[in-house]
Structure 1
Amino acid sequence: MANEVRTVPGSGSPPQFVGREAELGSLLTVLDDAGPVLVYVHGIAGVGKSALVSAFADRARSAGATVVLLDCRSIEPTDRGFIHSLASAVGARASTLGAVSERIGRLGHRVVLVLDTYEVFRFLDTWLRETFLPSLGANVRLVLAGREPPVTDWLASAHWHALVRSVALEPLGDAAALELLSRNGVGEREALHINRFVHGHPLALRLAAATLSERPDRSLEGEAIPMVVASLARMYLADVGDPVTRAALSAAASVRRVTRSLLRAMLPDAPDDAFERLQALPFVYSGSDGLIVHDAVRDAIARHLRATDPTTYRELRRRAWQQLRDEVSTAGIEELWRYTADVLYILENPSIREAFFPSGGPQYTVELARGADDAAAIERLAAMHETPEAATAVSLWLKQRPESFHVARDRDRVVRGFYAMFSPNPADTALVEQDPIASGWQRHIDANPMPYDQRPVFVRYLLSEQGGEMPSPEQAACWLDIKRTYMAMRPELRRIYMALREPAQSAFKPVTDKLGFESCGAVEVGGDVYHLNVNDFGPESVDGWLAGLVAAELGVDVPEVLDRRAHELVLGKERVPLTRLEFGLLEYLLDREGHAVSRASLIQDVWGHSYTGGSNVIEAVVRSLRKKLRERASCVETVSGVGYRFRSG
Structure 2
Amino acid sequence: MWQWMSDVTTSRVDKVFVGRNSELVALRGVLAITGPQVVHVYGIAGIGKTALLARLATEARDLGASVIRLDCRHIEPTEQGFLHALEGTIGGGDPGMDALVERLGWLGPKVLIALDTYEVFRLLDTWLRQIFVPLLPDNVRILFFSRQRPLDNWFSAPGWGRLVQCVPVLPLSQTEAKALLSMHGIKEEDAVSLARATHGHPLALTLAATASRENHARSWPQETVLQHAVDELSRMFLADVEDPVSRHVLQGAVVLRRATVTLLQALFPEFAPQDAYERLRRLPFVEGVHDGLIIHEAVRDSLARTLHASDPSRYLDYRRSAWRQLVSEAQSAASDDLWRYTADMLYLIENPVVREAFFPTGTALYTVEVAHPQDTELLTSIVRTHDGRQASELLLQWWRRLPQTFSIVRGQTGQVEGLYCKLRSDQIEPSWLFNDPVTAQWCSHIEQNPMQSGEVALFCRRWLSLNEGDSPSEIQAAVWLDLKRSYMELRPDLRRVYLTATDLGAYSQVAQRLGFEVLAGREVELDGVSYPSAVLDFGPTSVDGWLTGLAAAELGIKRAPALLDVEARQLILAAGPVALTPLEFGVMRYLTEHQGKAVSRSELLQHVWGTHYQGGSNVVDAIVRTLRRKLGHQSARIETLIGVGYRLR
Q: TM-score, normalised by structure 1?
A: 0.83
Correspondence 1:483 to 2:484: yes
Change (3 A) 1:571 1:396: closer
- Per the TM alignment, residue 569 of structure 1 is displaced from its structure 2 partner at its CA by 4.9
CA-to-aligned-CA distance 1:367-423 (integer Å, 9 cap, x gap): 110123x12222211111112111101211002221111111112222111111110
Moved more, 152-161 or 54-63: 152-161
1:239-638 counterparts in 2 under 5 A?
239-242=239-242, 243-270=244-271, 272-372=274-374, 374-425=375-426, 427-501=428-502, 504-520=503-519, 521-562=522-563, 567-569=587-589, 583-591=627-635
Is this contact kept in 2: 1:92–1:103, CA < 8 A? Answer: yes
Distance apart, 1:227 and its partner CA: 2.5
Which residues in structure 2 correspond to 1:129-148 (within 5 Å)?
129-148=129-148
After superposition, the C-alpha distances for 1:421-454 in whole angstroms (9 at most, x for unaligned) are 1103465222212211000000001111111121
Amino acid in the other structure paired with 1:567? V
Q: Secondary structure at the match of 1:467?
A: coil
Structure 2 equivalent of residue 611 of structure 1 = none
Question: What SS does the corresponding residue of 1:221 show, helix, strand or coil?
Answer: coil
Write the distance in 2 (CA, Å) between the matches of 1:567 and 1:99.
54
- Native 8 Å contact 1:39 1:167 kept in 2: yes
Paired with 2:527 and 2:409, the residues of 1 have a C-alpha distance of: 27
> 3-state SS of the aligned residue for 1:50?
helix
Asked which structure has the greater CA Rg, the reply is 2
Question: Structure 1 stretch 557-566 or stretch 249-258: which is displaced more?
Answer: 557-566
Could you tell me how far 1:251 is from its partner in structure 2?
A: 2.4
Provide the C-alpha distance between the structure 2 equivalents of 1:351 and 1:236, rounded to a whole number of angstroms: 34
Structure 1 residues 302 and 522, CA gap change in structure 2 (3 angstroms):
same
Q: Check 1:376–1:247 CA distance in 2 against 1; reply closer, same or farther (3 A cut).
A: farther
Q: Deviations over 1:274-308 (max 9, x none)?
A: 33343333432221111212323322332332223
Map of 1:32 onto structure 2: 32
Q: For the Cα contact (< 8 Å) 1:198–1:228, is it kept in 2?
A: no
Q: Which amino acid aligns with 1:369?
A: A
- CA distance in 2 between counterparts of 1:190 and 1:258 reads 37
**Cα shift at 1:189:** 4.3
Structure 1 residues 580 and 430, CA, compared in 2 at 3 Å: closer, same or farther? closer
How many residues align? The count is 579
The amino acid of 2:344's aligned partner reads D
- Secondary structure at the aligned position of 1:162 is classed as helix
Contact 1:119 1:147 in 2 (8 A): yes
Amino acid corresponding to residue 117 of structure 1 in structure 2: T
Question: Helix, strand or coil: the match of 2:532?
Answer: strand
The change in CA–CA distance for 1:368 and 1:229 in structure 2 (over 3 A counts) is farther
Cα distance in 2 for partners of 1:31, 1:513 equals 52
* CA–CA distance in structure 1, aligned partners of residues 216 and 239 of structure 2: 11
Query: For the structure 1 residues 304 and 203, does the alpha-carbon distance in structure 2 shift closer, same or farther, using more than 3 Å as the test?
Result: same
Classify 1:248/1:177 alpha carbon distance in 2 versus 1 (closer, same or farther; 3 Å).
Answer: farther
Contact 2:68 2:114 survives alignment (8 Å): yes
Alpha-carbon contact 1:253-1:298 (below 8 Å) kept:
yes
Give the partner amino acid of 1:265. A
**Cα distance change, pair 187–312 in 1 and its aligned pair in 2 (3 A):** farther
Separation of aligned partners in 1, 2:587 and 2:464:
44
8 Å Cα contact 1:344/1:546 also seen in 2: yes
Cα shift at 1:152: 0.7
Counterparts of 2:585 and 2:219, CA distance in 1: 64
Contact 2:451 2:636 (8 Å CA) reproduced? no
User: What secondary structure is seen at the aligned counterpart in 1 of 2:137?
Assistant: coil
Between the aligned partners of 1:349 and 1:135, the Cα distance in structure 2 is: 39
Counterpart Cα distance in 2 of 1:145 and 1:24: 14
Q: 463-472 or 270-279, which moves further after superposition?
A: 270-279
Q: Distance in 2 between matches of 1:282 and 1:205?
A: 16
What does the per-residue CA deviation read over 1:594-646, in whole Å, with 9 as the maximum and x for residues that have no partner?
xxxxxxxxxxxxxxxxxxxxxxxxxxxxxxxxxxxxxxxxxxxxxxxxxxxxx
* CA distance, structure 2, for counterparts of residue 561 and residue 324 of structure 1: 17
Identity %: 40
Aligned partner letter, 2:145: A
Seen in structure 2, the aligned counterparts of structure 1 residues 415 and 549 have a Cα distance that, compared at 3 Å, is same
Structure 1 segment 55-204 matched on structure 2, within 5 A: 55-204=55-204
Q: Tell me, yes or no, if the aligned pair for 1:77 and 1:121 is still in contact at 8 Å.
A: yes
Distance 1:533 1:233 in 2: 48
CA drift of 1:353 comes to 0.5
- For residues 7-22 of structure 1, the aligned pairs below 5 Å read 16-22=16-22
List gaps (5 residues or longer) in structure 2: 1-5, 565-583, 596-606, 609-619, 638-649
CA 184–323 in structure 1, closer or farther in 2 if over 3 Å, else same: farther
Q: Distance in 2 between matches of 1:344 and 1:363?
A: 24
| Equivalent residues of 2:42, 2:146 under 8 A apart | yes
Is the deviation greater in 68-77 or in 305-314?
305-314
**Does the 8 Å CA contact 1:154/1:161 hold for their aligned counterparts?**
no
Paired residue secondary structure (1:137): coil
Change (3 A) 1:44 1:90: same
Change (3 A) 1:268 1:237: farther
Superposed CA deviations along residues 135-186 of structure 1, whole A, max 9, x for unmatched, are: 1101000010001111111223452231111111112223433343344444
Q: Does structure 2 conserve the Cα–Cα contact (< 8 Å) formed by 1:400 and 1:428?
A: no
Can you list the C-alpha shifts for 1:185-240, whole angstroms capped at 9, x where unaligned?
A: 44444444432322321112222344456x35573524436524543345335534
Q: Deviations over 1:75-119 (max 9, x none)?
A: 111112111111111113222211111111211110000000000
Q: 1:524, CA displacement in angstroms? A: 1.8
CA distance in 1, matches of 2:32, 2:529: 61
| Matched residue type, 1:166 | C
Corresponding position: 1:48 with 2:54: no
Give the SS at the match of 1:319.
helix
Instruction: State the secondary structure of the residue aligned to 1:468.
Output: coil
Task: Compare 179-188 and 34-43 and name the one that shifted more.
Answer: 179-188
User: Which one-letter code corresponds to 2:151 in the other structure?
Assistant: V
The range that moved more, 579-588 or 298-307, is 579-588
Partners of 2:188 and 2:30 in 1: CA distance: 37
SS at match of 1:165: strand
| Structure 1 counterpart SS, 2:523 | strand
- Inter-partner Cα distance in structure 1 for 2:386 and 2:288: 51
Q: Quick one: distance in 2 between partners of 1:423 and 1:158?
A: 31
